Amino acid sequence: MPRKKIELRNTIESLSILDADGKVDKKLEPKLSNDEILSLFRGMLLARRYDERMLRLQRQGRIGTYGPALGQEAASLGPAFAITKDDWFVPSFREPAGMLWRGWPMARLMLWWGGNEIGATPPEELNDMPICVPVSSQIQYGAGIAWGLKLDGNKSVALTFVGDGGTSEGDFHEGVNCAAVFNLPMVIVVQNNQWAISLPRRKQTASETIAQKALAYGMNGIQADGNDILAMIAATREAVDRARSGGGPTLIEAVTYRLGVHTTADDPKKYRTEEEVEAWRCKDPLDRFWKYVQDKGVLNEKSREAMEEEIAAEISAAVEKSETYQADIMEPFDHCFETMTPALKRQRAEFEAYLLNGGSNGSPHAASSSAISQVH
């Protein structure tokens, strides 16, 4: 028998709407009101200034190791904008733009990076998971959430993030395969920032694109310009609509670049050149969107200056709130189990008695709910 070409039902496309000079493809431009454009620019600017402040705080010894998201703001803000509060948001650790857009208190994120687990408490009104560092574990969580949504007949979707390095992990393949086999309402955004710490993308996979991995699992995939917030919005909207209507999962490869360090424990000068970084700096998502915003007449230099001042004050207030936060010393007992076990109750009572009898200079514990409200 002759060889036959196998026709795949799924497709892979590449999408870019806003080029590095801020010129837009009118045919592909997503419909956004001026208020939405203004809010999106503020969201990206807030994320950039937050990121810069966090880096300074780490260098000053005021928080622990920090993983910057410099240059990757559009890759998480665009998808976050394209979903609703009823949808699930499952981040890795380079999605502060998306998390702040979703409504995470900035002080709470600062506490997470400062080593306080209260920072892992999602706002009650959101279907969000907290920052999660273990590589590619987000895919398993997202698939599990999406499976639960489908079983419940819920029309919400699970938006999940992972890095290009995460696509080499078993968790990625297991989760994506599960999503495809069970036709789950899941959108997977791979932030391809070209480097998995010091390992370049070319050594991560021999695939020409990461998006094409979707074909192997029987789902749709798209390669979007991750530095183009309009492309990320359009790609995610399409994927969300498909998932919500029962069309299954989509893998979005957001092609972007990590302009800063992997984390503050990293020195990228040891493995990449300044010429490479500068070439990508010309594609900065914030600068690109700023040109678009100006062309739209939504914002000018003077109004941006006022926005910058407002954001600076917001960040300073969040820093003060996080640094004056009083931890609840009883939290280890309160949050181990949904219903405290008899043994844990005895241990808690014993420890509380110890504190009340002067065993510590600390005062008796405050209620956990009050502790959370400090950083809302």
pLDDT at 147: 98
Q: Worst-scoring range by mean pLDDT, 1-10, 120-129, 187-196, 298-307?
A: 1-10
Q: How far is CA 210 from CA 128, 224, 265, 342, 370, in A?
A: 26, 11, 27, 50, 45
Instruction: Say whether 64 sits in a helix, a strand or coil.
Output: coil
pLDDT bucket at 370, cuts 50 / 70 / 90: low
User: Quick one: average pLDDT of 190-204?
Assistant: 95
Q: Please, are residues 259 and 277 in contact by the beta-carbon 8 Å criterion?
A: yes
pLDDT at 367: 45
pLDDT bucket at 157, cuts 50 / 70 / 90: very high
Strands across the sheet containing 158-163: 12-15, 220-225, 250-255, 186-192, 158-163, 88-90, 127-128
* 253 HSE (CA, 13 A, CB side): 26
pTM summary value: 0.91
Name the DSSP letter for residue 160: E
Domain boundaries, the chain: 12-323, 331-373
Tell me the C-alpha distance between 91 and 94, whole Å: 8
pLDDT reading at 331 higher than 90: no
Residue 271 annotated among the catalytic residues of the structure: yes
Catalytic residue among 244, 258, 288, 365: 258
Residue 173 annotated among the catalytic residues of the structure: no
The closest alpha carbon to 159, from 143, 178, 135, belongs to 143
pLDDT reading at 88 higher than 80: yes
Task: Please report how the helices 73-81 and 34-59 are oriented relative to each other, as an axis angle in degrees rounded to 10.
Answer: 140
Residue 258 annotated among the catalytic residues of the structure: yes
pLDDT bucket at 363, cuts 50 / 70 / 90: very low
Catalytic residue among 56, 59, 271, 376: 271
Q: Please say whether the structural domain 12-323 has been given the CATH code 3.90.1150.10.
A: no
Catalytic residue among 108, 262, 288, 365: 262
Instruction: Say whether 51 sits in a helix, a strand or coil.
Output: helix
pLDDT reading at 353 higher than 70: yes
Q: How far is CA 368 from CA 69, 151, 213, 289, 320, in A?
A: 31, 33, 44, 41, 20
Q: Please, are residues 231 and 224 in contact by the beta-carbon 8 Å criterion?
A: yes
